[in-house]
Structure 1
């Protein structure tokens, strides 16, 4: 049985004061029945890991470099994330793909590095509004899956997050049927590539304007094993509503 996961992506938000939200979240869920992951900015990662030590919450990074070390000013390796206390890393988020020109090949290389370092790679896929309206969604998702996911992937080191670009931070959410269609498609592709055992064990997250008011119905959709949440994960009170919904699902 796949253990459900509520993952929070703080993006470029949060200073030292934000660590109190992690403390509040840990107090709210002393023994959660789902996995809870927070990915803060790198400046907070080590302190965040210390804040949630011996709780039901873990922390992760928001990106990593494919190389283990070297002359890459401003970049962070997977080993550095592990050293700071991370157990996962978000890769290929649409904001990285768009703002930094990341292609499937670079996401794949980063995922290999993350997995080699012992991190869970949360690989993001998703279509633009133009692609959705042109009925190209599944073609786009299929290409991202085949290009971004390494061959060494297993249910232990890979998590896939479907985030329609047009729904991230906009308040717009695909219909439940549209979410289900993509998640079922991803599951089928994983099973075809890696076999039923691995394909069925990989957790699939939905991301894109998830909030307490719509979480219940989203978590009832086929092959939705949790959520990758942006803005609603910044405050413990908001994220708690989503976690509660996931625990009920």
Structure 2
């Protein structure tokens, strides 16, 4: 297999290796009335490009980082990032991004985005950078902004703070509460509660986790992890309207 060196190749690989199996699993659950009711599933799913939502203003990295902090909240893998979303005056004038896709909830009437996905080629956001950058507490105003450093830890913290905060601002601008970053090697799941000053996230390394867990290895695969996350998002009530 050729190495994945772009978001386009990653998206193409993920479509057959992850997205189609996830879509099939959700469809089968939806077709089973007992499972559908038990899981609170409120529709089928489809994977679509960001262009279906049109253009959107987005917050710049520096603006986002100035308003957020990242703290360790659960067993070293799950974190919480506190941030205040940008106002319309603070948002930059950027358009949609080509590596942005959405999982749509298809119910009676118009479909609506339920999960946002961003693909990052693995060489741009390596597993080592992800685990180092999301290890411990990050307060960008103290640790990153206007700071200099040459260590791997500093670079990783700066990069992950930028990625998480900008993505947070992007998905909250779309009124989507669930999303994940996918590199092909790692998945960073994100969830924004009703009070949008915090983003919770969890790191999954399917290739490592599935091999290390003999008893529950199947549950640690990318398909299983994404399926569970999508089912949770589909069962969640719509975000509150301002």
What TM-score do the two structures reach when normalised by structure 1? Answer: 0.35
Question: Between Structure 1 and Structure 2, which shows a larger proportion of strand residues?
Answer: 2
User: Radius of gyration: which is bigger?
Assistant: 2
Structure with the larger RCO, 1 or 2 (CA within 8 Å, 6+ apart): 2
Give the TM-score, by structure 2 length. 0.36
